[in-house]
Amino acid sequence: MRELLLWGLLGLAASPVLVDTVRHFAGTPWASYCLVFWALFVRELLRKPVDVYPRGVGWLLVAAGIGIELVMVQAGWPRMGRPGVALAMLGMALGLGHPRPVVALLALWAVPLPSFAANLASPGLERLLFSLAGFVLAPLGIALEVVLPHPDETLATVGSREMPVFGADGGLYLAALLAGLAFYTAVRAQLRPIPLLRRMIAWAALALPIQLAAVIAACAILAAGWPETARLGLSYSPWILTALAVFALQLPDGGKR
Protein backbone atom coordinates (compact mmCIF):
# COMPACT_ATOMS: atom_id res chain seq x y z
CA MET A 1 0.00 0.00 0.00
CA ARG A 2 2.90 2.34 0.73
CA GLU A 3 4.37 1.74 -2.73
CA LEU A 4 0.97 2.18 -4.35
CA LEU A 5 0.43 5.48 -2.54
CA LEU A 6 3.86 6.84 -3.48
CA TRP A 7 3.50 5.88 -7.13
CA GLY A 8 0.01 7.41 -7.15
CA LEU A 9 1.39 10.68 -5.79
CA LEU A 10 4.13 10.66 -8.43
CA GLY A 11 1.53 10.09 -11.15
CA LEU A 12 -0.50 13.02 -9.80
CA ALA A 13 2.56 15.28 -9.77
CA ALA A 14 3.44 14.23 -13.32
CA SER A 15 -0.13 14.53 -14.65
CA PRO A 16 0.41 17.74 -16.71
CA VAL A 17 3.22 16.06 -18.65
CA LEU A 18 1.31 12.78 -18.96
CA VAL A 19 -1.77 14.54 -20.34
CA ASP A 20 0.38 16.41 -22.85
CA THR A 21 2.03 13.13 -23.86
CA VAL A 22 -1.36 11.54 -24.57
CA ARG A 23 -2.18 14.51 -26.80
CA HIS A 24 1.17 14.02 -28.50
CA PHE A 25 0.24 10.40 -29.28
CA ALA A 26 -2.98 11.56 -30.95
CA GLY A 27 -1.11 13.87 -33.32
CA THR A 28 2.02 11.74 -33.72
CA PRO A 29 0.94 8.09 -33.87
CA TRP A 30 4.43 6.61 -34.24
CA ALA A 31 5.39 8.03 -30.82
CA SER A 32 2.91 5.65 -29.19
CA TYR A 33 5.62 2.96 -29.33
CA CYS A 34 6.84 4.14 -25.92
CA LEU A 35 3.63 2.73 -24.40
CA VAL A 36 5.38 -0.65 -24.68
CA PHE A 37 7.90 0.48 -22.07
CA TRP A 38 5.23 1.94 -19.82
CA ALA A 39 3.58 -1.49 -19.88
CA LEU A 40 6.87 -3.26 -19.14
CA PHE A 41 7.64 -0.85 -16.29
CA VAL A 42 4.22 -1.53 -14.73
CA ARG A 43 4.82 -5.26 -15.25
CA GLU A 44 7.98 -5.02 -13.18
CA LEU A 45 6.22 -2.96 -10.52
CA LEU A 46 3.64 -5.70 -10.11
CA ARG A 47 6.21 -8.47 -9.85
CA LYS A 48 7.00 -9.64 -6.31
CA PRO A 49 10.62 -8.61 -5.61
CA VAL A 50 13.10 -11.25 -4.49
CA ASP A 51 15.26 -8.73 -2.64
CA VAL A 52 14.67 -5.05 -1.86
CA TYR A 53 17.59 -2.68 -1.40
CA PRO A 54 16.34 0.92 -0.98
CA ARG A 55 18.80 3.66 -1.88
CA GLY A 56 18.41 7.09 -0.36
CA VAL A 57 19.82 8.80 -3.46
CA GLY A 58 16.62 7.79 -5.23
CA TRP A 59 14.59 10.39 -3.35
CA LEU A 60 17.00 13.09 -4.52
CA LEU A 61 16.36 11.98 -8.09
CA VAL A 62 12.60 12.10 -7.48
CA ALA A 63 12.90 15.67 -6.20
CA ALA A 64 15.14 16.66 -9.12
CA GLY A 65 12.83 15.03 -11.69
CA ILE A 66 9.69 16.65 -10.32
CA GLY A 67 11.53 19.97 -10.11
CA ILE A 68 12.48 19.75 -13.79
CA GLU A 69 8.92 18.86 -14.71
CA LEU A 70 7.40 21.75 -12.74
CA VAL A 71 9.82 24.28 -14.23
CA MET A 72 9.07 23.09 -17.77
CA VAL A 73 5.30 23.10 -17.20
CA GLN A 74 5.41 26.60 -15.73
CA ALA A 75 7.48 27.74 -18.71
CA GLY A 76 4.81 26.36 -21.07
CA TRP A 77 7.02 23.51 -22.34
CA PRO A 78 5.39 20.38 -20.87
CA ARG A 79 7.05 18.14 -23.46
CA MET A 80 10.44 19.20 -22.15
CA GLY A 81 9.32 17.89 -18.77
CA ARG A 82 9.18 14.27 -19.95
CA PRO A 83 12.81 13.51 -19.07
CA GLY A 84 12.08 14.88 -15.58
CA VAL A 85 9.21 12.39 -15.17
CA ALA A 86 11.46 9.56 -16.33
CA LEU A 87 14.13 10.64 -13.84
CA ALA A 88 11.53 10.72 -11.06
CA MET A 89 10.37 7.20 -11.99
CA LEU A 90 13.93 5.93 -11.84
CA GLY A 91 14.46 7.69 -8.51
CA MET A 92 11.28 6.23 -7.04
CA ALA A 93 12.43 2.73 -8.00
CA LEU A 94 15.81 3.35 -6.33
CA GLY A 95 14.21 4.86 -3.23
CA LEU A 96 11.81 1.94 -2.78
CA GLY A 97 14.28 -0.70 -3.88
CA HIS A 98 11.83 -2.06 -6.44
CA PRO A 99 12.00 -2.57 -9.40
CA ARG A 100 15.71 -3.36 -9.55
CA PRO A 101 17.84 -0.40 -10.74
CA VAL A 102 18.85 -2.04 -14.00
CA VAL A 103 15.21 -2.85 -14.85
CA ALA A 104 14.07 0.60 -13.71
CA LEU A 105 16.14 2.05 -16.56
CA LEU A 106 13.11 1.21 -18.71
CA ALA A 107 11.85 4.60 -17.55
CA LEU A 108 14.30 6.18 -19.99
CA TRP A 109 12.55 4.46 -22.91
CA ALA A 110 9.17 5.60 -21.62
CA VAL A 111 10.04 9.00 -23.11
CA PRO A 112 9.18 9.05 -26.84
CA LEU A 113 12.00 9.69 -29.26
CA PRO A 114 12.13 13.43 -30.06
CA SER A 115 10.63 14.27 -33.44
CA PHE A 116 13.90 15.76 -34.69
CA ALA A 117 15.63 12.41 -34.02
CA ALA A 118 12.86 10.39 -35.69
CA ASN A 119 13.14 12.70 -38.73
CA LEU A 120 16.95 12.81 -38.71
CA ALA A 121 17.37 11.09 -42.09
CA SER A 122 14.28 12.68 -43.65
CA PRO A 123 13.33 13.07 -46.44
CA GLY A 124 15.92 10.81 -48.04
CA LEU A 125 15.32 7.68 -45.95
CA GLU A 126 11.55 7.40 -46.27
CA ARG A 127 11.69 8.20 -49.98
CA LEU A 128 14.29 5.46 -50.42
CA LEU A 129 12.08 2.92 -48.63
CA PHE A 130 9.08 3.80 -50.77
CA SER A 131 11.19 3.60 -53.93
CA LEU A 132 12.34 0.12 -52.87
CA ALA A 133 8.71 -0.81 -52.19
CA GLY A 134 7.81 0.31 -55.72
CA PHE A 135 10.60 -1.90 -57.12
CA VAL A 136 9.30 -4.92 -55.16
CA LEU A 137 5.66 -4.34 -56.14
CA ALA A 138 6.29 -3.61 -59.83
CA PRO A 139 6.25 -7.30 -60.89
CA LEU A 140 2.76 -7.54 -59.37
CA GLY A 141 1.52 -4.83 -61.70
CA ILE A 142 1.45 -2.15 -58.99
CA ALA A 143 2.85 1.11 -60.37
CA LEU A 144 3.87 2.92 -57.20
CA GLU A 145 5.24 6.42 -57.56
CA VAL A 146 6.82 8.75 -55.04
CA VAL A 147 5.91 12.35 -55.88
CA LEU A 148 6.97 15.62 -54.30
CA PRO A 149 4.22 18.26 -54.69
CA HIS A 150 6.32 20.57 -52.51
CA PRO A 151 9.92 20.35 -51.24
CA ASP A 152 8.72 19.42 -47.74
CA GLU A 153 5.89 17.10 -48.81
CA THR A 154 6.02 13.53 -50.10
CA LEU A 155 3.14 11.42 -51.46
CA ALA A 156 3.00 7.76 -52.40
CA THR A 157 0.61 7.28 -55.32
CA VAL A 158 -0.86 4.30 -57.15
CA GLY A 159 -2.99 5.59 -59.99
CA SER A 160 -5.43 8.09 -58.51
CA ARG A 161 -4.89 6.85 -54.95
CA GLU A 162 -2.41 8.68 -52.76
CA MET A 163 -1.07 8.48 -49.24
CA PRO A 164 0.99 11.09 -47.37
CA VAL A 165 4.49 10.06 -46.36
CA PHE A 166 6.02 11.42 -43.15
CA GLY A 167 9.58 11.66 -41.90
CA ALA A 168 9.04 9.00 -39.23
CA ASP A 169 8.17 6.52 -42.00
CA GLY A 170 11.91 6.08 -42.33
CA GLY A 171 11.61 3.86 -39.26
CA LEU A 172 14.28 5.34 -37.00
CA TYR A 173 11.90 5.26 -34.05
CA LEU A 174 11.80 1.47 -34.48
CA ALA A 175 15.52 1.41 -33.69
CA ALA A 176 14.74 2.99 -30.30
CA LEU A 177 11.96 0.46 -29.69
CA LEU A 178 14.14 -2.52 -30.62
CA ALA A 179 17.11 -1.29 -28.60
CA GLY A 180 14.87 -0.93 -25.54
CA LEU A 181 13.33 -4.38 -26.01
CA ALA A 182 16.78 -5.87 -26.50
CA PHE A 183 17.92 -4.25 -23.26
CA TYR A 184 14.91 -5.55 -21.34
CA THR A 185 15.11 -9.12 -22.62
CA ALA A 186 18.88 -9.21 -22.07
CA VAL A 187 18.48 -8.04 -18.48
CA ARG A 188 15.76 -10.61 -17.86
CA ALA A 189 18.04 -13.29 -19.32
CA GLN A 190 20.89 -12.02 -17.07
CA LEU A 191 23.28 -11.35 -19.94
CA ARG A 192 26.59 -9.67 -19.20
CA PRO A 193 27.21 -6.10 -20.44
CA ILE A 194 29.04 -6.97 -23.68
CA PRO A 195 26.47 -9.52 -24.93
CA LEU A 196 23.74 -7.10 -23.82
CA LEU A 197 25.28 -4.32 -25.91
CA ARG A 198 25.69 -6.64 -28.89
CA ARG A 199 22.03 -7.60 -28.66
CA MET A 200 20.95 -3.96 -28.55
CA ILE A 201 23.00 -3.08 -31.64
CA ALA A 202 21.88 -6.16 -33.58
CA TRP A 203 18.21 -5.65 -32.80
CA ALA A 204 18.31 -1.92 -33.57
CA ALA A 205 19.76 -2.77 -37.00
CA LEU A 206 16.57 -4.70 -37.76
CA ALA A 207 14.53 -1.48 -37.75
CA LEU A 208 15.05 -0.66 -41.43
CA PRO A 209 14.13 -4.09 -42.89
CA ILE A 210 11.08 -4.25 -40.62
CA GLN A 211 10.02 -0.77 -41.72
CA LEU A 212 10.60 -1.67 -45.36
CA ALA A 213 8.28 -4.66 -44.98
CA ALA A 214 5.68 -2.39 -43.38
CA VAL A 215 6.01 0.13 -46.24
CA ILE A 216 5.57 -2.62 -48.85
CA ALA A 217 2.43 -3.88 -47.06
CA ALA A 218 1.04 -0.34 -46.78
CA CYS A 219 1.62 0.32 -50.47
CA ALA A 220 -0.12 -2.94 -51.38
CA ILE A 221 -3.11 -1.88 -49.28
CA LEU A 222 -3.01 1.53 -50.97
CA ALA A 223 -3.11 -0.18 -54.36
CA ALA A 224 -6.12 -2.20 -53.21
CA GLY A 225 -8.02 1.04 -52.74
CA TRP A 226 -7.81 1.67 -48.99
CA PRO A 227 -5.53 4.68 -48.51
CA GLU A 228 -6.80 5.51 -44.99
CA THR A 229 -6.22 1.94 -43.84
CA ALA A 230 -2.76 1.96 -45.42
CA ARG A 231 -1.81 5.17 -43.62
CA LEU A 232 -3.19 3.97 -40.28
CA GLY A 233 -1.44 0.63 -40.60
CA LEU A 234 1.90 2.23 -41.41
CA SER A 235 1.62 4.46 -38.35
CA TYR A 236 0.84 1.69 -35.87
CA SER A 237 1.53 -1.81 -37.18
CA PRO A 238 5.39 -1.71 -37.28
CA TRP A 239 5.86 -1.07 -33.56
CA ILE A 240 2.84 -3.09 -32.39
CA LEU A 241 3.74 -6.22 -34.39
CA THR A 242 7.42 -5.90 -33.50
CA ALA A 243 6.67 -5.68 -29.78
CA LEU A 244 4.23 -8.61 -29.93
CA ALA A 245 6.79 -10.73 -31.79
CA VAL A 246 9.46 -10.01 -29.17
CA PHE A 247 7.08 -10.79 -26.30
CA ALA A 248 6.04 -14.07 -27.91
CA LEU A 249 9.54 -15.21 -28.81
CA GLN A 250 11.72 -13.83 -26.03
CA LEU A 251 9.89 -13.34 -22.73
CA PRO A 252 8.95 -16.99 -22.14
CA ASP A 253 12.62 -18.00 -22.49
CA GLY A 254 14.22 -14.85 -21.22
CA GLY A 255 12.18 -14.36 -18.08
CA LYS A 256 14.84 -15.28 -15.55
CA ARG A 257 15.12 -13.10 -12.48
Question: Is there a single domain that holds both residue 5 and residue 78?
Answer: yes
pLDDT digit string, tens, across residues 22-53: 999 999 999 999 999 999 999 999 887 777 88
Rounded CA separation 250/49 (Å): 21
Of 112, 128, 158, which marks where a domain is finished? 112
- Domain holding 18, by residue range, is 1-112
Question: Is there a single domain that holds both residue 89 and residue 130?
Answer: no
Question: Is there a single domain that holds both residue 20 and residue 92?
Answer: yes
pLDDT of residue 50: 74
Nearest CA among 112, 128, 109 for reference residue 208: 128
Rounded CA separation 126/77 (Å): 29
Mean pLDDT within 56-68: 95
Question: Is there a single domain that holds both residue 88 and residue 164?
Answer: no
Of 77, 112, 147, which marks where a domain is finished? 112
Question: Is there a single domain that holds both residue 246 and residue 132?
Answer: yes
Per-residue confidence band for 133, with pLDDT thresholds at 50, 70 and 90: very high
Find out whether 125 and 170 touch, Cβ atoms under 8 Å: yes
Question: Is there a single domain that holds both residue 159 and residue 196?
Answer: yes
What is the DSSP annotation of the chain?
Answer: -HHHHHHHHHHHHTHHHHHHHHHHHHH-GGGGGGHHHHHHHHHHHHSPPS-----THHHHHHHHHHHHHHHHHHTT-GGGGHHHHHHHHHHHHHHHT-S-HHHHTHHHHTSPPPHHHHTTTTTHHHHHHHHHHHHHHGGGT--EEEEEEETTEEEEEETTEEEEE-GGGG-HHHHHHHHHHHHHHHHHTT--HHHHHHHHHHHHTTHHHHHHHHHHHHHHHHHTT-HHHHHHHHHHHHHHHHHHHHHHHHTTTS---
Question: Is there a single domain that holds both residue 107 and residue 120?
Answer: no
20/3: higher pLDDT: 20
Question: Is there a single domain that holds both residue 158 and residue 103?
Answer: no
pLDDT of residue 255: 44
pLDDT of residue 201: 97
pLDDT of residue 2: 85
pLDDT digit string, tens, across residues 83-126: 999 999 999 999 999 898 899 999 999 999 999 999 999 889 99
Question: Is there a single domain that holds both residue 137 and residue 253?
Answer: yes
Q: How far from the centroid of its chain's Cα atoms is residue 177's Cα? A: 5
Question: Is there a single domain that holds both residue 90 and residue 126?
Answer: no
Question: Is there a single domain that holds both residue 257 and residue 137?
Answer: yes
2/76: higher pLDDT: 76
pLDDT digit string, tens, across residues 147-206: 988 877 899 999 889 999 999 999 999 999 999 999 999 999 999 999 999 999 999 999
Question: Is there a single domain that holds both residue 204 and residue 139?
Answer: yes
pLDDT at 254 over 60: no
Of 112, 135, 164, which marks where a domain is finished? 112
Please count the structural domains in the chain. Answer: 2
